A and B are shown apart, each in its own frame.
Chain A
Amino acid sequence: MNAATQLRSPAVSTPLPLAIPGAIPGTTDAQIRAQVSDLNFWYGKFQALHGVSMPIHDRQVTAIIGPSGCGKSTLLRCFNRIHDLYLGVRYEGAIELMPDRLNLVGKAVDPILVRLMVGMVFQKPNPFPKSIFENVASGLYVRGIRNKGEVEGRVEHALKQAAIWDEVSDRLKKPAYELSGGQQQRLCIARALAPEPKLLLLDEPTSALDPIATAKIESLIDDLAEQVTIVIVTHNMGQAARISDHTAFMHLGKLVEFGETEQIFTSPQAEQTRDYVTGRYG
C-alpha cells in the first residue's frame, strides 16, 4: 500500500504544520537531519534490525546497501512508520528528527504526522488512478490545503522540483497512467515533494526503469539533495557510488559499516563490506 494513501486520514481535517514545531530553519550541510540510535525492530518474533545507529546528514544523500534480506528496506520503512500498517511489529531505540529530536518511532508520535514529514517513493511507479495534477495535489489535500491558487502553485513547484514540469505542463488534467514509466516515477517524486517533507525516502526508485529514465532520476536526486535530505535503498552499487554522499552497508539486520561513499567504495574497512562491494559476497 502506498504511503500517500495512508495519509487520507479522516482524522486530519485542519492544515498541518509544514515545519516541525520548534524547528530551526536554515540548517547547514554539516548538520545532522536525523540520528538513528540503537534501533531494533521485530516482525512478530523475528528480529529484523539489531542495534542500528547512524546519522543522516542534512541535505545530503545517504545510501543503504546490502544483500537481499539484510534489513535495508526494513530500516528505510522505519523512517516513515510504514511498518505500523501491519500487526505484531515492534520498535526499540530511536530515529530522532533534528533539531528538535522528535523520535519518529516513538509510541507517542502519530505515524500520520511522521508520514507528512517523511515522503517515500517506491520501486515501482505507483501513481494514483487520477490526473497528473491530482496526483501531486493529493498530499496537499491531506494537509488541508484547499486554496486553489496555493494548491496550483505548490503542484507546479513540486513538478518543477521533480524535473517533469516541462513534459506535463500542457496536460495536467490527463491521467497519470498515460505517462511513461520514468515519467510516472518522477511524478511520484513530485507527489512526495509537494508536502515539503523533511526527509525523502527512495526504495530502489530506478530498478523498474530503463537506463535513460534511470539517469534522469539520478540527476534529479543529485539536484534535489540541495533542498531535501534523501535516504535511498539501492541494489545498484554503481548508483549508490554515483549519487550518495554517505553509504551504510548492512548484513543480517546489522549495520556493518557506515562512512563517506568514496571511502566505502574505494577503501572499505570491513571485510564484509569489501566482499559485497566487489561482488565476492555469498
Chain B
Amino acid sequence: MEHTVKAVDDQLNAMTRDLAAMGDLAVAQVRAAIDVFLRHDLTAAAKVVRGDDALDLQDADIERRAVRFIALHQPMADDLRRPIAAMKIAMQLERCGDLAKNIAKRVGRMDAPADADQAEPVAGLGRLAAERLSSVVDAYRASDAQGAYNVWVRDTEIDELHEKVLAGLIEAMARESRALGDFAHLLFIAKNLERIGDHATNIAELVHYQITGADLADRPKL
C-alpha cells in the first residue's frame, strides 16, 4: 500500500535505487581489481584506486539521506528498517571498495606479476566473492529475502576456498625462491577477497532483516 505522504515512498525508493547502483559500482570495482591483478595492469590499477572515491561519496550520501529521512518522517516498521539497513549496507559496500582499492595498490607494489598457477586460484577466490556480492546486490534491489538467504548460507564456501588458496601459497613460498614480499602481497590480496565475501554475507543479513524484520541465526563457521 502506498504511504499517505507520497514523499516517504519517493525518498525510500530513490534510496534503494541509488544504493543498488552503489552496489553495482562496488561489484565493478572488485571485478576490475581482480582483472588488474591478473593482467598486472598498472594503468588500470590507478583507475581502480581513483574509482573508490565515488563509493566513499555515495556512502556519505546514503548516510546523510537516511538520517534526514528518519529525522523528518519518524518512520516505523519496515519504513524504519529500510533507511537503517541502507546506512549499514552502504558502509559494507564502501569497505568492499576499500578492499578492491587495496588490491589494486598492492598490484603496483609487486616486483613482478604473479605466476599463473599462483594468481589463478587467488583470482578464482575473487570471482566467487564478486559473484556473491553481485547476487546480494540483486537481492537487495529486488527485495528478495530468499536470494539474500542463499548468499548467507553459502558463506563457508568462500572461507573454505580461501583456506585452500592460502595453503597453496604457503606451499609455493616454501619451494620457490621468489621474493617473499610478493607472496605477502598475494596473501593479503587473498585475505581482502575473503573479507569481501564476509561483507557480502553481512549485506545478506541486512537485506533479510530489512525485508522480514527477523535476524538470521548465527551463520555457519568453518
Q: Are B4 and A277 in contact (CB under 8 A)?
A: no
Is A267 close to B, CB under 8 A?
Answer: yes
| Contact A280–B1 (Cβ < 8 Å) | yes
Given A266-B81, A266-B213, A267-B214, A280–B2 Cβ distance below 8 Å? yes
0/1 string, A241-274, CB within 8 A of B gives 1: 1000000000000000000000001111000011
A54 to chain B, nearest CB (A): 20
From residue A279, how far is it (CB to closest CB) to chain B in Å?
5
B80 touches A279 (CB 8 A): no
Contact in complex: A265, B77 (CB < 8 Å): yes
- On whether the beta carbons of A279 and B4 are closer than 8 Å, the reply is yes
Instruction: Out of B4, B74, B78, B212, name the residue touching A282 (CB < 8 Å).
Output: B4
The answer, among A265, A268, A274, A280, for a CB contact under 8 Å with B4, is A280
In the complex, what residues of B have CB within 8 A of residue A274's CB? 77-78
B3 at the A/B interface (Cβ < 8 Å)? yes
Nearest-CB distance from A89 to chain B (Å)?
33
- Binary CB contact string for chain B from 132 to 174 against chain A (1 if under 8 A, 0 otherwise): 0000000000000000000000000000000000000000000
Given contacts A266-B213, A267-B214, contact A241 B76 (CB under 8 A): yes
* Given contact pairs A266-B81, A267-B214, A238 touches B3 in the complex (Cβ within 8 A): no
Contact between A278 and B2, CB atoms less than 8 A apart:
no
A265 to B4, CA, bound (A): 17
Question: Once bound together, how far apart are the Cα atoms of A280 and B76, in whole Å?
Answer: 11
The reply to whether A279 and B5 form a contact with Cβ atoms under 8 Å apart is: yes
Asked if B28 is at the interface (CB within 8 A of a chain A CB), the reply is no
Chain A contact residue count (CB 8 A cutoff): 16
Q: For A279, what are the chain B residues with a Cβ–Cβ distance below 8 Å? A: 3-5, 8, 76, 79
B167-222 interface (Cβ within 8 A of A): 212-214
On whether the beta carbons of A278 and B78 are closer than 8 Å, the reply is: yes
Most chain A CB within 10 A, of B5, B79, B212, is at B79
User: Which residues of the partner chain A approach B80 to less than 8 Å between Cβ atoms?
Assistant: 265-266
Which residues of B1-28 have CB atoms within 8 Å of chain A's CB atoms?
1-5, 8
Q: Are A268 and B77 in contact (CB under 8 A)?
A: yes
Q: Does B113 contact A (CB under 8 A)?
A: no
The answer to whether residues A278 and B214 also contact, given A241-B76, A265-B76, A266-B77 and a CB cut-off of 8 A, is no
How far, in angstroms, from A277 to B81 measured CA to CA in the complex?
13
A275 touches B1 (CB 8 A): yes
A278 touching B213, Cβ below 8 Å: no
**Could you tell me if B213 and A281 are in contact, using CB atoms closer than 8 angstroms?**
no
How far is A265 from B8 in the complex, measured between Cα atoms in Å?
A: 17
Q: Does A48 contact B (CB under 8 A)?
A: no
A237 to B78, CA, bound (A): 15
Specify which chain A residues have a CB less than 8 angstroms from the CB of B79 in the assembled complex: 278-279
Docked CA distance A280–B5 (Å): 8
Q: B76 near A267 (CB under 8 angstroms)?
A: no
A266-B81, A266-B213, A267-B214 known; A277+B76 contact, CB < 8 A: yes
Q: How far is the CA of A266 from the CA of B77 in the complex (A)?
A: 4
Q: Which of A274, A275, A278 has the most CB of B within 10 A?
A: A278
The complex places the Cα of A221 from the Cα of B97 at a distance, in Å, of 48
Q: Which of A238, A278, A281, A282 contacts B77 (CB 8 A)?
A: A278
Min CB–CB distance A238 → chain B (angstroms): 5
In the bound complex, residues from chain B placing their C-beta under 8 Å from that of A238 are 74
Can you name the residue of chain A whose Cβ is closest to the Cβ of B212? A267
Question: Complex: how many Å from CA A279 to CA B77?
Answer: 10
Residues in B whose Cβ lies below 8 Å from that of A282: 4
CA distance A274 to B74 in the complex (A): 14
B-side contacts of A280, CB under 8 Å: 1-4
Residues of B within 8 A of A (CB): 1-5, 8, 74-81, 212-214
Residues in A lying within 8 Å of B, measured CB to CB: 237-238, 241, 265-268, 273-275, 277-282
Taking A237-B76, A266-B76 as known contacts, 5 extra A-B pairs with beta carbons closer than 8 A to each other, sorted by chain A number, are A266-B80, A267-B81, A267-B212, A277-B76, A279-B4
CB-based closest 7 A-B pairs: A267-B213, A277-B76, A280-B1, A278-B79, A265-B76, A279-B4, A278-B77
